[in-house]
Structure 1
Amino acid sequence: MKKIIVAFLGLLVFTQGANAQKKTSGAIQFETTVDPAALATANGMQLSEEMRARMPKAMKTNFELLFTATNASYMPVIETEDSNGGGGGGGMGRMMMRFGGAGGAREYYYTFADQKLVEVFELSDTTYVMQSKLTVANPPQMNMGGGQRPGGNNPAAAASQSAVQFLPGPPTLEVVKTDETKKILGFDCKKAIVKSIRKAKVLDMDKDIIDETAVWYTTDLGFNFSPNPNMWTEGAVLALENKGNSTVATSIEYRGVSTKDVTAPKKATPITQEEYQKKMESMMNRMRGMGNNRGGGAGQARSIIIN
């Protein structure tokens, strides 16, 4: 009888240890929803009812965060049949959606011990790896012939489409911590607001345009992460909410994760932020030279307040 009790206790300790270990790795599913009409309006475009009617109500993309005790990766996914279980249980096929560097989806790889983050993307048939970091920052400023302003580098076209004309210069950023909390996937999340303030002409009057992004984060997961590396305050961000564009964690599964799935590819070509910016500006200049600048970039929409 004594041996049976000892064996049972040993099995109980093993099971508890296995469960504890299991919670150090897993997958979190995210869904990004874009409302094209709201996105265009937030960027200052005036849409007719006919244009709104032709636009889809919402466009959705699925993303997956895989994490272990030491590393993580985040990328778009396409659901496919996976008879082998994906090397870690679960039937979701995982693949990178390579649309190029200009606003296209990327892979992000995190190393927790030294807080390193790298971005992996494809540009001109070459796979690049670029050092990055979690922070609150403006995206790289590039001369793309009009920036966020509809109409590109054609002032007359821009004026006919938009009552808001952004002035040159990057936005001023401000982080506001709040007392608001809510549960996401069972985790206690706190809310921070990132304000992006830009100078603009609104009907020939000087105004401040304030874009607001709600950042919902938790410290319960034990690592730092954000679906948008430029929208991070602390902890693991499980939701980003703004007008026309939101990304929210929809499910979590604790399971084994292969080391290769959270490790950046070694064959990618290193590139610096400065080199990447120069490449993008060069590409945009060539496109404009060919008369192929269509404007209307897919920027991130946020709620707009005019003071």
Structure 2
Amino acid sequence: MKKIFVAVVGMLTLTFAAQAQKKSGAIQFESTIDPAATMAATGMQVSDEMRARMPKAVKTNFELLFTATNASYMPVEEIEDSNGGGGGGMGRMMMRMGGAGGAREYYYAFADQKLVEVFDLSDTTYVMQGKLAVANPVQAFNMANRNQNNAPTTNGNTTTISAVQFLPGPPTLEVVKTEETKKIIGLNCNKVIVKSIRKAKVLGEDKDVIDETAVWYTNDLGFSFSPDPNFWTEGTVLAIENKGKTTMAKSIEYRNVSAKDVTAPKKATPITADEYKVKMENMMKRFSGGGNRQGGQPRSVIIN
């Protein structure tokens, strides 16, 4: 009986140790962008000459580090093995960019659903409070807004006018839950579709232009996260797919993670979303030499 008792205790100890280990680790993500498709989705004209010069795909690696209470998400790059053992590895990049679509560092606190964004702008490192949601990005401008009126574009001796002319005003977001499931990095995932609906004139007729983004999430990990904070409904998002950009989890490793790697830097200047919006609008005015530009606006969300 004593031997059986010892064996049972040993098995329980191993089970608890395995469960404890799974509360921390690293998930590797890969983001693939089709520049031409992304530009076309915003209403910009992409000539055949421009398309021919663009890369077919631009790939960036990201890493999510998580513990039982916190997480961080940022770009990584392959590095050589500093010990000379070969095989290489992944190293985190301090690549903070403040512009629209720029790479940022994100830090999550699970207990109070807190999210902060860290980025560089005008030689200053800022920290801004954020949140997970289906929402409009905070960025005060994007390529769609810059081409809001779809002005004619000239390429050599040819001038073209887009067949799709987006009307002023923010798009409406609609979240559609589906019954689709699949496994990503061995975890059970559910699919929701986020529809962005914009009013436009298509060949002179009023139409709704709909862009769909598939969001795959799992509840197996027990915490809330998304590689894009503006595409989240619940759980841990492991993939975001649309016609211009795809971000997908590629691997997961359960291991110990240092608390300092999931803690936002303390030497950063706080900035609010409104202050950031003003800075970006002013920067855009200087860049364009003045003129009116419509910034990002809140969008209504419908969940079915």
**TM-score, length basis structure 1:** 0.84
Q: What do the CA deviations read for 1:194-218 (whole angstroms, capped 9, x no partner)?
A: 1111111222221111111101011
Aligned partners of 1:172, 1:138: CA distance in 2, in Å? Answer: 10
Aligned partners of 1:154, 1:13: CA distance in 2, in Å? Answer: 65
Q: What do the CA deviations read for 1:72-98 (whole angstroms, capped 9, x no partner)?
A: 0111111213548xxxxx942112212
Aligned partners of 2:6, 2:130: CA distance in 1, in Å? Answer: 50
Assess if the C-alpha contact under 8 Å between 1:81 and 1:93 holds in 2. no
Report the CA distance shift for 1:82/1:127 in structure 2 as closer, same or farther (over 3 A): farther
* Paired position in structure 1 for 2:15: 16
Aligned partners of 2:204, 2:149: CA distance in 1, in Å? Answer: 19
Report the CA distance shift for 1:154/1:13 in structure 2 as closer, same or farther (over 3 A): closer
State the 1:49 CA deviation: 3.5
* Paired position in structure 2 for 1:302: none
State the 1:48 CA deviation: 3.8
1:264 and 2:259 matched: no
State the 1:151 CA deviation: 5.1
Report the CA distance shift for 1:147/1:56 in structure 2 as closer, same or farther (over 3 A): closer
Aligned partners of 1:5, 1:80: CA distance in 2, in Å? Answer: 49
CA RMSD in angstroms, aligned pairs only: 2.6
* Paired position in structure 2 for 1:35: 34
| Structure with greater strand percent | 2
* Paired position in structure 2 for 1:62: 61
Aligned partners of 2:146, 2:290: CA distance in 1, in Å? Answer: 19
Assess if the C-alpha contact under 8 Å between 2:149 and 2:165 holds in 1. no
5+ residue gaps, structure 1: 85-89, 296-307
Report the CA distance shift for 1:250/1:23 in structure 2 as closer, same or farther (over 3 A): same
Q: Give runs of aligned pairs for residues 247-262 of structure 1, distance below 5 A.
A: 247-262=247-262
Q: What do the CA deviations read for 1:232-277 (whole angstroms, capped 9, x no partner)?
A: 0111100000002110000000001000000001111111000000
Report the CA distance shift for 1:67/1:237 in structure 2 as closer, same or farther (over 3 A): same
* Paired position in structure 1 for 2:216: 216
Assess if the C-alpha contact under 8 Å between 1:26 and 1:254 holds in 2. yes
Which of these residues, 113, 124, 127, is aligned with residue 125 of structure 2? 127
Q: Give runs of aligned pairs for residues 1-307 of structure 1, distance below 5 A.
A: 10-81=9-80, 83=82, 91-140=89-138, 142=140, 144=141, 147-148=143-144, 155-157=151-153, 160=160, 162-289=162-289
Aligned partners of 1:150, 1:275: CA distance in 2, in Å? Answer: 20
Report the CA distance shift for 1:96/1:153 in structure 2 as closer, same or farther (over 3 A): farther
- Farther off after superposition, 159-168 or 172-181: 159-168
Aligned partners of 2:177, 2:95: CA distance in 1, in Å? Answer: 34
Aligned partners of 1:270, 1:165: CA distance in 2, in Å? Answer: 38
Assess if the C-alpha contact under 8 Å between 2:190 and 2:218 holds in 1. yes
- Farther off after superposition, 125-134 or 73-82: 73-82
5+ residue gaps, structure 2: 294-304
Assess if the C-alpha contact under 8 Å between 1:82 and 1:93 holds in 2. no
State the 1:177 CA deviation: 0.3
Q: What do the CA deviations read for 1:98-131 (whole angstroms, capped 9, x no partner)?
A: 2333321101110001111111111111111111
The letter of the residue matching 1:115 is Q
Assess if the C-alpha contact under 8 Å between 1:26 and 1:252 holds in 2. yes
* Paired position in structure 1 for 2:299: none
Aligned partners of 2:72, 2:116: CA distance in 1, in Å? Answer: 10
Identity %: 71
How many corresponding residue pairs? 284
